[in-house]
Chains A and B, each alone.
Chain A
Amino acid sequence: MASDLTKNKGLKRRKFLKYTGVGVGLMIGGVWLGRNPIRRKIFELAETMIAPYQGDVSDPLIWIQVTPENQIILHSSKVEMGQGSFTGLAQLAAEELEVDVEKIKVVHAETASGNIDGMGTGGSMSVATLWKPLREMAATMRLMLAKKAAEKLEVSIDDLAFANGVFSAKNRGITYGEIVDGVTDWEIPETPVLKKRSRFKHIGKPIVRVDLYDKVIGAPIFGIDASYSDMLFASVVRSRLVDATMSNYDTSVAENMPGVIKIVKEDDFISVIAKTQVEADNARHKITFDYTTNRSWNIADVEKEITVGNGRKTIIQKEGKSIEEIDEDGDIISLEFRSPIGAHAQMEPNGAVANYKDGKVEIKISTQVPKVTRDEVASALGLSKEDVNIVPTFLGGGFGRRLHTPNAIQAAKMSKAVGKPVKSFFDRKQEFQNDTFRPPTHHVMKAKISKDKKILGIEHQFASGDTLFNSALDPGVEQMMRADIGSIRGGAIIYDLLPHRTTYYHVDLPFATSFWRSLGLLANAFAIESFMDEIAINTNQDPIQLRLNSISNDNPYGERARKVIQACADKAKYTDQISNGKAMGFASTVDGGSPCAHVVEVSIEDDEIKVHKVTVAFDCGIAVNPDQVRAQIEGCVCMGISASMFEKMDLRDNKLYPINYGAYKMALMRHTPREIDIVLLEGADYPGPVGEPPMGPIGAAIGNAVRRLTGKRLTTLPLSLG
């Protein structure tokens, strides 16, 4: 267990050794003779274009623990938020450890264990970035076990046989658990050669999720389920207004409410601590205060700000002239698109359970960024990083909503103030009001078409609120990257055979915006792929052919993208003819190197858009777990339908609305397509991103189908026939 690893960290070595198996290696520096880490990073970047994992992958012992009871525990620095990476990572480890996946228990690594991931969990990067490092660590671990087995059996390592998790020689067998029993000293050897893909036994198999049983029985695995004995409950006052400050608090009524233990007044927040959650919330509602707003904000003001031409300009692509500069004769076609403020609406609200004691604090929390949380709690409380331990729990949904740290900092401060463990969670209203929203966007798409229907150029200009710089990334990222690569996602035009340009305007808004599953992709793809359909109609081309003819092999994903486009069209039997009141719509994207295409079948019933069937072709390279890749595609399709057809936030008199489910319209069971037909292409020999790329095409695909049905081009999300 991770807690054993960390709790024992301060103990004397002998005692420590009594309680753990291989985990002791944590205390004993090994010699890593594997590949130079800098070269590894460069190599991986060049090979896969996936940013490398940012943490320690040189020490198998902080990742893989074998207990004398013969249990294998994988301490994952990546958190499980539903995306299934615990299962994928277990498959990678199982492959090189030569054990069945069911033999491996996956737990979240506490930050005190030393297994810390600098990037956090997001960007669909967990399995992709650990693809090689984790297999290398598992292979190295197995070699370490083999060496010890040979020592214990007093044979040469070459004389060992291995079957069913047991090393044997001279008619004696020894399990992994028996090997580690009593071992205190490990030497980490050079990384062995990894298995070839053709020999994979676990990777590529639809293994059932390792967390399935817990999630079917309702086990208490989430942050909101965490507790300490003698714990108190907190309710923090939050601003209802955007761009406002609060002052003149009156807590006199709250102080005398039943169950209230303390009113905590810190520089930056006020809260009630009580015996129960209900008592804390009831008392918090009795605290009064005044607001001062800087200026008034309504949704129209936001839209005015978020308009192409405003804000900081970044040219992303310049592969041709701007449309106005093109000399050849032709017609300019132009469309403007908008996407709204989107809420995360993840089911488990944000919060934390903190236990501050004797200058140290432990925090149990659903977070995508354990390291940043540790660092920021340490600096807010004036502690050293070693005195803060973040214990990640399962997340009741992430989607980019758990990259921020105020809940953890406040819980820690309150626990310190009251001298007991404190649990502090948003209620749903606070969750909506304090969301770090998907920023609204505005897009101007232009193309020039010659008289003989040749496309002379295409241009995408867009404005978006912040996604990246506002989130809990290490400072310096903004400097290093200069442009907000989050908002840009999906913004570049992949049709490199057409002269093209893309320009981005970064606009600051008076409320927090940040990562939302797939970031800029949802909105950018809606604009670009709707416009591509419009160009196809304008130039009398088949929309599939137009795309196929516009992507070259120079594009690093060109060939894979074309295969995906063709496979999707073939599987769905795409046609632009309407039959039985149903029309098809097509769209395709390449996100993070994983091409995806959708064909939707849509009808209009009682003035509402109805999506009957979605065909998806997707190439994420190796599908480590094809069943979970499918699950992610299904989730992306349905969440994408929800975001494209229903969801939007409003801002009136500095108040964000709605503030609960129901009022915030979302797709439910009845809006779910009856058929989702998936074709997986594995066009690369490594796994690429899975959990977000399939969000890309859906909005445009639906809009394109509606265009064919009605002749009307929908240019605003959520799509409405209105």
Chain B
Amino acid sequence: MKISFIINGSTKSVEVSDGNAPLLWSIRDGLDLKGTKFGCGKAACGACTIHVDDMAVRSCSYPVKMAEGKKITTIEGLSQEGNLHPVQQAWKEEVVPQCGYCQPGFMMATAAMLKEIPNPTDQDIDDNIINVCRCATYYRMRKAIHRAAAINSKNL
């Protein structure tokens, strides 16, 4: 079956034999956008986080057929016209990544949270950023999240 959606601003279609297959694999292998990561396949780690209609979604547990006609953003589409998104900018300034594998998922989760909560408290961060980073870069991530909020408010 053929599924069509708008991903990072362009309309794309993928061909799948099983509409219940995770959207993640269509993004990674079907469209060759490798920034969205596989971590667990059970919505338990957040490595595969993307935005579907501006909401953070764990794409490993999102049936591809549900993406029909939706607007999808992946880490590759987070930056606009070559400019890093404020979250990426903050991540860079705080030198957050170690191995880097979990980072796209965290940045996508953070970008979605900041739309809802532009100036999160530490408690908001604890409650909303629940992805897994095995390198345990949480300490710098927290700083980067606050910095991203500050960059955003300056831009306004």
Report chain A residues within 8 Å CB of B139. 634, 637-638, 672-673, 676
Report chain A residues within 8 Å CB of B127. 670
Of A142-150, A186-194, A207-215, A368-376, which stretch is located at the interface? A207-215
Report which of B18, B40, B125 forms a contact with A282, defined as CB distance below 8 A.
Answer: B18
Report chain B residues within 8 Å CB of A84. 98
| Cβ contact within 8 Å between B95 and A209 | yes
| Cβ contact within 8 Å between A82 and B135 | yes
Q: Is A635 in the interface zone, CB < 8 Å from B? A: yes
Between A347, A349, A672, the greatest number of chain B beta carbons within 10 A of the residue's beta carbon is seen for A347
Closest to A634 in B: B139
Of A110-118, A286-294, A392-400, A526-534, which stretch is located at the interface? A392-400
Q: Is A584 in the interface zone, CB < 8 Å from B? A: no
Q: Decide: A258 near B100, CB < 8 A? Known: A348-B37, A660-B44.
A: no
Q: Complex: how many Å from CA A258 to CA B44?
A: 28
Q: Complex: how many Å from CA A348 to CA B135?
A: 11
B72-92 vs A, Cβ < 8 Å mask (1 yes, 0 no): 001110010000100010011
Q: Complex: how many Å from CA A458 to CA B24?
A: 56
Q: Complex: how many Å from CA A84 to CA B98?
A: 7
Report which of B32, B40, B137 forms a contact with A635, defined as CB distance below 8 A.
Answer: B137
Q: Is A345 in the interface zone, CB < 8 Å from B? A: yes
Q: Decide: A212 near B37, CB < 8 A? Known: A282-B18, A634-B137, A662-B42.
A: no
Q: Complex: how many Å from CA A225 to CA B104?
A: 14
Between B37, B75, B132, the greatest number of chain A beta carbons within 10 A of the residue's beta carbon is seen for B132
SS of B interface (majority): loop
Q: Is B136 in the interface zone, CB < 8 Å from A? A: yes
Q: Is A235 in the interface zone, CB < 8 Å from B? A: no
Q: Decide: A278 near B38, CB < 8 A? Known: A83-B98, A218-B76.
A: no
- On chain B, the number of residues with a Cβ less than 8 Å from chain A's Cβ atoms is 56
| Cβ contact within 8 Å between B140 and A631 | yes
Q: Is A334 in the interface zone, CB < 8 Å from B? A: no
Contacts between chains A and B (CB distance < 8 A), count: 175
Q: Complex: how many Å from CA A211 to CA B100?
A: 9
Report chain B residues within 8 Å CB of A285. none
Report which of A83, A214, A277 forms a contact with B25, defined as CB distance below 8 A.
Answer: A277
Q: Tell me the B127-154 residues at the A interface (CB within 8 Å).
A: 127, 129-142
Report chain A residues within 8 Å CB of B41. 427-428
Report chain B residues within 8 Å CB of A631. 95, 98, 137, 140
Q: Complex: how many Å from CA A47 to CA B129?
A: 46
A630-653 vs B, Cβ < 8 Å mask (1 yes, 0 no): 010011011100100000000000
B102 CB to closest chain A CB (Å) equals: 5
Range of interface residues on A (Cβ < 8 Å)? 35 or more
Report which of B21, B76, B142 forms a contact with A278, defined as CB distance below 8 A.
Answer: B21
| Cβ contact within 8 Å between B99 and A634 | no
Q: Complex: how many Å from CA A82 to CA B97?
A: 8
Q: Complex: how many Å from CA A282 to CA B98?
A: 33
Report chain B residues within 8 Å CB of A660. 40, 42, 44
Between B34, B37, B95, B102, the greatest number of chain A beta carbons within 10 A of the residue's beta carbon is seen for B95
Q: Tell me the A53-86 residues at the B interface (CB within 8 Å).
A: 81-84
Report chain B residues within 8 Å CB of A395. 99
Report which of B44, B92, B133 forms a contact with A662, defined as CB distance below 8 A.
Answer: B44
Q: Is A13 in the interface zone, CB < 8 Å from B? A: no
Between A217, A218, A670, A673, the greatest number of chain B beta carbons within 10 A of the residue's beta carbon is seen for A218
A454 CB to closest chain B CB (Å) equals: 41
Q: Is A667 in the interface zone, CB < 8 Å from B? A: yes
Report which of B79, B125, B134 forms a contact with A347, defined as CB distance below 8 A.
Answer: B134
Report chain A residues within 8 Å CB of B44. 660-663
Report chain B residues within 8 Å CB of A349. 38
Report chain A residues within 8 Å CB of B104. 218
The 8 closest A-B pairs by CB, nearest first: A218-B35, A82-B99, A396-B101, A215-B100, A638-B136, A82-B98, A218-B75, A220-B34
Q: A212-B95, A218-B35, A634-B137 are in contact. List 15 more A-B contacts (CB 8 A).
A: A209-B95, A216-B97, A217-B76, A217-B88, A218-B75, A347-B37, A397-B99, A397-B101, A425-B38, A631-B140, A635-B98, A635-B137, A661-B40, A669-B141, A672-B136
Measuring CB to CB, which residues of chain A are less than 8 angstroms from any residue of chain B?
Answer: 81-84, 208-209, 211-222, 224-225, 227, 233, 258-259, 276-279, 282, 344-349, 394-399, 425, 427-428, 627, 631, 634-635, 637-639, 642, 660-663, 666-670, 672-674, 676
Please, could you name 7 A-B residue pairs with CB atoms under 8 Å apart, sorted by A? Answer: A218-B74, A347-B47, A396-B102, A631-B98, A642-B136, A663-B44, A672-B136
